[in-house]
Amino acid sequence: MALDGKQSGVLLNMLLALALTVVLFAVAIVWHPAVLVPLAGLADRLAAALRWDALVLLCLVLAIGNLARHRFLTPADIDGSGLTSATDRARIFQAILQNTLEQTVIAIAAHLLWAASMPVLWQPVIPVAAILFVIGRVCFAIGYRGGAPARAFGFALTFYPTAIMAFGASIALLWRAIAG
CA distance 164 to 175: 16
Write the single-letter amino acid at 27.
V
Give the number of domains in the chain.
1
- Tell me: the pLDDT tens digits for 90-104? 999 999 999 999 999
Task: Answer whether 80's CB lies under 8 Å from 87's CB.
Answer: no
Answer whether residue 85 is part of any domain: no
Answer whether residue 2 is part of any domain: no
Answer whether residue 47 is part of any domain: yes
pLDDT at 29: 92
Please check the confidence at residue 89 and state whether its pLDDT lies above 70. Answer: yes
Average of per-residue pLDDT across 65-74: 96
Task: Answer whether 120's CB lies under 8 Å from 39's CB.
Answer: yes
pLDDT at 35: 67
Task: Answer whether 45's CB lies under 8 Å from 119's CB.
Answer: no
- Tell me: the pLDDT tens digits for 132-163? 999 999 999 999 999 999 999 999 999 999 99
Residue 31 burial (10 A CB sphere; 0-12, 13-18, 19+): exposed
Please check the confidence at residue 39 and state whether its pLDDT lies above 70. Answer: no
Question: pLDDT tier at 34 (50, 70, 90 boundaries)?
Answer: low
Please check the confidence at residue 73 and state whether its pLDDT lies above 80. Answer: yes
* Domain range enclosing 143: 17-31+38-59+92-179
Contacts of 83 (CB under 8 A, 6+ apart): none
Answer whether residue 79 is part of any domain: no
Answer whether residue 127 is part of any domain: yes
pLDDT at 32: 74
Answer whether residue 64 is part of any domain: no
Answer whether residue 138 is part of any domain: yes
Helices (H), 32-147: 42-73, 88-117, 125-143
Here the CATH number for the domain that contains residue 137 is 1.20.120
Contacts of 99 (CB under 8 A, 6+ apart): 140, 155
Answer whether residue 111 is part of any domain: yes
Task: Answer whether 110's CB lies under 8 Å from 52's CB.
Answer: no
Segment among 1-5, 59-63, 115-119 with least mean pLDDT: 1-5
Task: Answer whether 154's CB lies under 8 Å from 145's CB.
Answer: no
Task: Answer whether 166's CB lies under 8 Å from 107's CB.
Answer: no
